[in-house]
Structure 1
């Protein structure tokens, strides 16, 4: 099946072909026909499988057929994303799909001039991509009206739940046209997702390209047991083995990410960082430098677990295991993009055995042990099952000694949208 067979307008298909996009992904094959019929859609697919096109292409197709110019301060369609990075990625993709057409794509996120955004919204927008917080700021300033918005997309809806955006959604949704089409896309399916779907979707069709929460099969996963105090040394050993390849490293806290990045720079790596303490300009510059290869290692908190679509990322390191197990799926999904292969290595200290159990329960499999030995859990914490450790040996075949202990470092908070 190709895009022609999905019924998309020839002009859209031609634009995709110019970009080398000729074969729809499984989620696109399943979602696009229903979306073009005007049905509400709940789409479940892993990261890196083309969810943006799955909802973006049918919206573009419908708006091109409508041929109606949006009124000032209005938007025909609204796409909500939990983070600035994801919003920018969606906006960039939509602009590429609509290049040369009359459709206008807008984006409003925090960390940028709200006055500039107000000026851009004044003329009306066909498709508006927004983070919930900034959108509410603009609604309060009467810079945008949603009463003519007939299309709503919630992208990465599970992360919106994790980050507490349900309250913002409850305020935004009633402002939209009651006769609207709503689509919800996610990589995982927590219990609250059904409640969200029941509240905002009508007679929705559920399409699924892979079991929710199941990591992409082309990612080689590995688990390395290591004392917290030895993690930086171990990470450097791994990175030394592929200095010319791009690696994304996830840490739990903003201060920890910055400290780790500086340690890697001191060790001779071209490294940068993105986290909540960075301005939007700093985050954008770091991501651009990573994309162009000026940086080979990018250290990030979960603010970047979604929204980074960089095909060249070959390695993902979970320096700290995430507090929210679903975030493990999103983190490792930053590699093996667009059909490529990738490797994801998780570091686990004694203090993180509970997080490891939660992750493996979510992905419904044990992560293969590639180094270290299972440590004894801290007092009061249950052991992580009857797991056998790998033979001693680090990434370069060096002996490991992971018997050192330190106080639990369980700091950090859920990712914040900006």
Structure 2
């Protein structure tokens, strides 16, 4: 709904002044690691161990504005296509800047909308941060809150036989991590109830997938975080005699008298914010929630909606009642290449995956990935998909935002996306990091015209028709009929089990009914 309302208002919503003069990321070139100015040699080794030999343009642009001449004097808004390297773009300079100050406290917070995406981002930080002595934590509800607390908070060592004042113990609680990657809900849990958890030392706040995080309330996490930061900075540095961590060397003490240029009414040093999305909103009302300081927009070209450069888009025209057969025929032509098939809902994902697995002789390993599944099931499926043990993943849009799976050659829109933002985020699961990829969209004849208009919003007028062999479709007709019957029985069985579980959990099943199974 947010995307629809944004589309309806786009003629009337003014573009903010700072968005009219962005930095064009396409003017930057890849930079070999050994030529990147001021890069810590330890981080260079860590990046090489990850397989990097150079940084992508968006990473070079952000490096210049954080480590280079910009030195974080302005907050950064980064609007760059999916797969362009946005995660490392902010992770690398944050790690470098924090490494110049040898103190263990929570100084960088990265907030993401989903657990799976947060886990992925944490892995990026964890690959480089230990090289410079920094620790990274994760707060997503993947484990119990008690387990998370033990990882995030360092408790003082208590000697046996000594009676300690509980208030003294609380004062001695310290953060075990320098960087925290979190989802909003679990972040609020720690803010509200975890003893020793504090944001008073926070220097960097990253809001990744900004559009989604601003669209959904998420327990008012953003105003809570900003309020805590403002209040703690004011009490800690009432006279602005503060420590400033220089990216170029040792810790410097900076004494300020009067009002610092550009910081009127604000404490110094300030909280540096970085917000990122492949489809960054232009709505002033939404962006105002972030309380940005002299924001600087980094974007790719002049177009708001952009697809990966190496992406090829195709449309597949289907007969309405035979749409699953067209999908099966397409999967056969792709010959086991790693694919993600997107549907419009978690229910559709489950039913389509179940149906495909009733085509017994496909010889393709197919699994579902959706919000209906428990976290550990999704994590296990994603791990198997990354390892190549699964060739086709049928997914709801839970997979569209930011998820990075190496080697995905094809994305298939089984259900046509309603908005260009959805298409961009889905298509962005392939053609990542300069690799080639293809996006196929299955369309009924009546959907073709609307789909063409959708792609024009991203200036994509090249979407040829892709044809699958008609004899391939015919060869699966009898199997399709059988698979549909099996799907109907499966849906009935699942519905029965759900109702039975519901009655049991509410205590409405009588004793004799409970014992009838035995």
The TM tier, using the shorter chain, reads: 0.7 to 0.9
Map of 1:153 onto structure 2: 206
TM-score (norm 1): 0.83
Question: Is the CA contact 2:209–2:402 (under 8 Å) kept in the aligned structure 1?
Answer: no
For structure 1, which segment, 185-194 or 235-244, has the greater mean C-alpha deviation from structure 2 after superposition?
185-194
Map of 2:42 onto structure 1: 11
Question: Is the CA contact 2:402–2:425 (under 8 Å) kept in the aligned structure 1?
Answer: no
For the residue of structure 2 that corresponds to 1:202, the secondary structure is: coil
For the residue of structure 2 that corresponds to 1:370, the secondary structure is: coil
* CA deviation after TM superposition for structure 1 residue 224, in Å: 2.0
Question: Is the CA contact 1:250–1:331 (under 8 Å) kept in the aligned structure 2?
Answer: yes
* CA deviation after TM superposition for structure 1 residue 312, in Å: 0.7
Determine which of 402, 405, 412 is the counterpart of 1:307.
402
RMSD: 2.4
Higher radius of gyration, 1 or 2 = 2
Within the alignment, does 1:232 sit opposite 2:327 as a pair? no
For the residue of structure 1 that corresponds to 2:416, the secondary structure is: coil
> What are the residue-to-residue correspondences of 1:202-217 with 2, within 5 Å?
202-210=293-301, 211-217=303-309
Map of 1:92 onto structure 2: 123
For the residue of structure 1 that corresponds to 2:127, the secondary structure is: helix
Determine which of 236, 260, 267 is the counterpart of 2:352.
260
Distance 1:302 1:110, change over 3 A: farther
For the residue of structure 1 that corresponds to 2:132, the secondary structure is: coil
> What are the residue-to-residue correspondences of 1:58-73 with 2, within 5 Å?
58-70=93-105
Map of 1:404 onto structure 2: none
Distance 1:198 1:7, change over 3 A: farther
Map of 1:395 onto structure 2: 468
Within the alignment, does 1:28 sit opposite 2:80 as a pair? no
For structure 1, which segment, 360-369 or 50-59, has the greater mean C-alpha deviation from structure 2 after superposition?
360-369
* CA deviation after TM superposition for structure 1 residue 212, in Å: 3.1
For structure 1, which segment, 295-304 or 166-175, has the greater mean C-alpha deviation from structure 2 after superposition?
166-175
Provide Cα deviations, 1:379-416, integer angstroms capped at 9, x if missing partner: xxxxxxxxxxxxxxx32365999xxxxxxxxxxxxxxx
Map of 1:83 onto structure 2: 114
Map of 2:312 onto structure 1: 220
Distance 1:50 1:230, change over 3 A: same
Map of 2:191 onto structure 1: 139
* CA deviation after TM superposition for structure 1 residue 114, in Å: 2.0
Map of 1:49 onto structure 2: 84
Question: Is the CA contact 2:107–2:203 (under 8 Å) kept in the aligned structure 1?
Answer: yes
* CA deviation after TM superposition for structure 1 residue 271, in Å: 0.8
State the distance in 1 between where 2:448 and 2:218 align: 29
Distance 1:350 1:158, change over 3 A: farther
For the residue of structure 2 that corresponds to 1:128, the secondary structure is: strand
Map of 1:249 onto structure 2: 341
TM-score (norm 2): 0.68
Distance 1:212 1:201, change over 3 A: same
For structure 1, which segment, 187-196 or 342-351, has the greater mean C-alpha deviation from structure 2 after superposition?
187-196
For the residue of structure 1 that corresponds to 2:433, the secondary structure is: helix
State the distance in 2 between where 1:235 and 1:164 align: 37
* CA deviation after TM superposition for structure 1 residue 228, in Å: 4.3
Determine which of 183, 208, 223 is the counterpart of 1:170.
223
Distance 1:399 1:243, change over 3 A: closer
The size of the alignment, in residue pairs, is 375
Determine which of 247, 259, 278 is the counterpart of 1:187.
278
Within the alignment, does 1:2 sit opposite 2:54 as a pair? no
Within the alignment, does 1:318 sit opposite 2:318 as a pair? no
* CA deviation after TM superposition for structure 1 residue 353, in Å: 6.1
* CA deviation after TM superposition for structure 1 residue 155, in Å: 0.9
* CA deviation after TM superposition for structure 1 residue 361, in Å: 4.4
For structure 1, which segment, 273-282 or 118-127, has the greater mean C-alpha deviation from structure 2 after superposition?
118-127
Map of 2:385 onto structure 1: 290
Question: Is the CA contact 1:157–1:184 (under 8 Å) kept in the aligned structure 2?
Answer: yes
For structure 1, which segment, 6-15 or 188-197, has the greater mean C-alpha deviation from structure 2 after superposition?
188-197
Gapped regions of structure 1 (runs ≥ 5): 372-393, 402-418
Distance 1:194 1:336, change over 3 A: farther
Map of 1:364 onto structure 2: 459
* CA deviation after TM superposition for structure 1 residue 367, in Å: 5.3
State the distance in 1 between where 2:219 and 2:292 align: 15
State the distance in 2 between where 1:200 and 1:166 align: 18
Question: Is the CA contact 1:158–1:190 (under 8 Å) kept in the aligned structure 2?
Answer: yes
Distance 1:198 1:115, change over 3 A: closer
For structure 1, which segment, 280-289 or 229-238, has the greater mean C-alpha deviation from structure 2 after superposition?
229-238
Distance 1:318 1:193, change over 3 A: farther
Distance 1:88 1:352, change over 3 A: farther
